[in-house]
Structure formats: C-alpha cells, structure tokens
Chains A and B, each alone.
Chain A
Amino acid sequence: MDRRLARSTYVTETLAMALPRSEPAGATLEALYRSSRDDVYAYVATLLRDPAAAEDVTATAFERAFRRQRSFNPRRGSPRGWLFGIARNAALDELRRRSRQATLAADPEDLDAAAAEDPEHILRRTTVRTAIAGLTPREREIVALKVHAGLSQAELAEVLGVSPSNAGTLVHRTMEKLREACYVAS
C-alpha cells in the first residue's frame, strides 16, 4: 500500500473537519502543505509536462495559497480543492506565459530502473505512457487530479468548476479511453 496516497486521501477529510470556518491559517495550513506538496507537484508536472517548470509553479502555488489563505471559504469546498484550484490557475498561467508545449517529462533514471523490470511490465508501462500521450490536455488533467493527486470526486469537481456527477462522468470517460488504448492495443 502506498502510504503517501493513503495520507493524501484521509488527510483531506481530517483537514476539512479541523480547519477553522474562516481560513486555513497557521498550523492547519502547514498540515495542508505537508500532506499535499507532492500531490500538487505531481498534478502540475502532469499538466505542464516539464519538471523544472512544475517546480516553479508548485512553489508559486503554495506562495499564493499562503498569501490568500483568508480567501478560503469552507462553504465553497475543501481546503484541498481550494489549494488545487490555486495550483491549477498557476499552472494554466504558466502555460499561457510559455505558449508552447513542453515535452513529456521522461526521467532517465526511470528508464534505467525500468530496464531491470519484467519485460511484460515494461511493455505495459510503455503502452500506458502512449495511451496517456494520446489523451487531450483536459483528460490528462483528470488523470493527474484523480490518480496522481488522489482527489475525491467532490474535490475534482471543485477544482474543475463542474458538478460532481459531471466530474464522475469525466473520470469514467477518461478511464474508458485509456482502457481502450491499453487493452485493445495489447
């Protein structure tokens, strides 16, 4: 079991209960940072497909979150949804600024490590990477938010600005597309 993933999922609910009504200040904001740092990076990196830019944008997102913590309104969603909304805006601002498509981050160490893996597993990973590359940016974002960042359906809806049922439909369609790309291809 991935402990970090489990933490991301459960901490969301804990924070939602623990945070004050008005703002995620002080220690609670720090807890949000600790629990979400890697998830935010994963989401931003998937969106930008540029590790260096993802680091900058992640740092910017947390800076904005610190600065705007008073703008958090618990009636409008969870702290995690609020944070990912900020991260999303920062990432999209970066995309606008650059106006160019970054190449998919391919860590050479991963490839080296992959070489030692089971060939069938390597094949599956390659297939999945190809399938991900075939997704639209919006669908890649769905994968990043749902699988990489571990957001709940409600949080996903909050970040994307859609209804929860719409968010569920988007996840379903994306998975369906990936399933077709992976299993039909193999």
Chain B
Amino acid sequence: MSRREDTSTSPEILREIEAIEATLRGEAVDPEWADTAELALLLQVERPQPRPEFGAKLDARAARDFARRLARPRGGWRPGLRPALALAACLLAAVVLVTGMLTREQHPTTSAQVVKSPAAASGASSGAPSPTRRAQPSGRDADSAENLSIRSAVSPAAPVGTTATRQVERTSSVTLGVPPAKLQDASRQVFDITTRLFHGYVLSSSIASGDGATGGGSFQLKIPSAGVSEAEGRLAQLGHVRSQTDTTQDISSAFVSADRRLADANAERRGLLRALGRASTPNQTASVRARLQLVEGQIAGAERDIRSLRRRADLTSVSLTIVPEAHGAVVGNRSGLTPGGALHTAGRILSVALSVLLIALAIALPFALAGGLAVAGTRAVRRRRREAALGAT
C-alpha cells in the first residue's frame, strides 16, 4: 500500500488532525476539540518568523536564480543521461570485443604473421633473397631440431636463428577460401605475387573453373625463403585462410656431409694430380687417371648435392589450395542477392547484434550492481547519520 492510499489512521486521530488544521485555517471547531484548538493556536504563536531583511535578501537572491534559470537554455548534462552514457560505453566495448573476435575468426593466421614479421622484415631489408636460411639451435638441442613441424599459430622461424652453420628447409601448406566469383582473379594474383613480387616461380598449378563448389585451384609454389612470410601474408589476403601448416626441417647435417665429401674428394683429387705428375710408367699413369676420373665423379656428385640442398634451403615450397567458399549472401549464386541469402545475412546480423547486447549486459551488470549497492549504501549511511544528528540535539 502506498503512503497516499494509507487509510488506516484511526478516526479519532483523523478528527484531531482536522481540528488542528481547521484551527490553523481560522475555522471553528467542535467544542470537544477546544483544548486541541487552543493548544494549536498557542503553538502557532511560537512560530519563528524570519527577519524582514532576511526575507528581502532571499527574495532578491531567488529572483536572480529564477531569472538565470529561465534564461539558461535547456540541455547540457542531465543526471538521467549518466546511465545512458554508461550503457553506451558498455555497448561500445562489446562492439570492440565482438569485432576483435570476428576478425580473429576470419584471419586465424594474424598472430603468426605478427610473429613472422621481424624475419620477413629482415629478409626484405637485405634486398635480394639470402642464399641460405640460417638456424641457431641451442647446442645439444641441435639434433632435436632436425625435424620441426609447427602449425599455424607458431612461427616456423621461431626456434631457429641466423648463424652460419644451419640450413633449414621449409615447407608450407595453405588452404584459402575464396568466393566462387573471385576464383579466377585469385588464381591470377597467386601468379603475380609469386613471380613478380617475390621472384619465385610456380612449379605446378591446376585451376578448375566451375559453378559453385566445383571450382578451385591448387598451386605448388617456390618462393625465396627470406620473403616467404610476407608472401604468405599477401596470399592470405586473397581470401579466408581456412588452414595453414608450416613445416621446417633442419638439413644442416646433410649439407655438412655433402660438403665434407666434396672437401675429401677435392683433397684426393689434388693428391691424385700430384701422383699423376710423379707417375713414371704407363700403367701407373693409367691407374691414377682411372682413379682421378672416379674422384671427379664424386666431386660432381657432392657439388650437385650441395646445390640441391642450397636450393631446398633458399626456396620454400608452398602448397596452396584455393577452394570456393560461401561469402555472405552470394553462396552458390553468382547472380547476387537471393531471399535465402538475405535471410542468412539477416540472421547473422541479428546474432551479432544479440551477441553485442549480451556482452554489453555482461559488462554493465557488475558495474550496475556495484554502483547500485554503493549508492544505496551511501544513502542509507547518510540517512542514518542525519537521523542521529536529530536525535543528538
């Protein structure tokens, strides 16, 4: 029951109050309430009266306030705006969060690219691609660094460094989702990026044009290792990266072995040449020549192995697959917007809006509860202190 609707006051009390109010209005009251009326009048006589000077001063002050308030345009900060502003701030925070989540969802390799960027930058700043990719394992971990298979979020360059002793072969596999209408354009750009921008080459390619899910393409790319991170970033911009796998393999031991074989063969060749100079009989000469021919074959083989290993280190094999992917309302339909697509888009927009709202509420609720409790507590304490002040007089 509200205070205004409270009618539980006893009739006697109501009559007494009516008698007091009638007396104060100067009206006659029932003789039954004569004492109360007299008391009310006597109490009324004790009513403090303000000094005329104070009244005049307050009137002048009030007149100024009224004039100023009437002259002031409405607007500015209103107390009621604060909750609205707080809610708007929460909505903004939620939008930022949701946008961030959506961005991560669409570009899962973003973090990997960030990690890779220093390597890419160093490669780019050196101008031409470096002849070998160097690695720096930490001593005893050299053997365990032989085979490293690191998936998308981890940079393949992370566990290896840049000393002159390590040769690392790197391979990468990327699957891109591209809207069907953009398949041809994406395939063309793959060639451009690989050959023109990063001076690599397309080892093989297979592009299938077709309607909807039947189209697609696959490419075997060779890209200079120094710029492969940047090149992958460029390729990722062609569509939605569905998956990416980067693999590194330390081929230093094979390289060292070939190098050693070459050195040994060269040394033996030099020795054979000296022996050939010292040969005095036709048999000796023939024997040395035969041996020399064999060693020169070994030298050629070792040199071939070294060149091959260097190529493996210098060029990263990128296996790129492009698949058609639904993009907004144009799924499987090149002609444009369809009712089904529009419904799908509308549903997605609504779900995102609902997510934003839910996150905003999740952010706002604890603050609102804490704020409400603080305000209620402050008011209660203030009220209690005021009542205590009254009781203390």
Give A contacts to B, CB under 8 Å.
1-2, 5-6, 9, 25-26, 29-30, 33, 37-38, 41-42, 45-47, 49, 51, 54-55, 58-59, 62-63, 66, 70-71, 77, 89, 92-93, 95-96, 99, 101, 105, 124-125, 128-129, 132, 136-138, 141, 143, 146-148, 150, 152-154, 157-158, 161-165, 168-169, 171-172, 175, 178-179, 182-183
Contacts and interface: CB of A to CB of B under 8 A. Distances in A.
A9 to B, nearest CB: 6
Given A124-B42, A128-B43, A165-B6, A92 B386 contact: yes
B47 A42 contact: yes
19 contacts: A2-B24, A37-B50, A41-B49, A58-B50, A58-B54, A62-B62, A63-B65, A92-B386, A96-B385, A132-B46, A146-B20, A147-B20, A147-B43, A163-B6, A164-B6, A165-B9, A168-B14, A171-B16, A182-B42
Contacts of B139: none
**Residue among A26, A37, A147 with max Cβ neighbours from chain B (10 Å):** A147
Interface residues of B, number: 56
Interface string B1-28: 1011011111011101100110011110
B61 interface: yes
Interface string B38-55: 011011111111110011
- B-side interface mostly: helix
Given A138-B391, A157-B3, A179-B35, A168 B42 contact: no
A171 B50 contact: no
Contacts, number: 174
B78 interface: yes
A84 to B, nearest CB: 14
Given A1-B27, A46-B48, 20 more contacts: A1-B25, A5-B24, A26-B66, A26-B70, A30-B66, A41-B50, A42-B48, A51-B51, A92-B389, A96-B386, A99-B392, A124-B42, A137-B393, A147-B40, A148-B44, A161-B383, A162-B3, A163-B1, A164-B3, A171-B20
B47 A59 contact: no
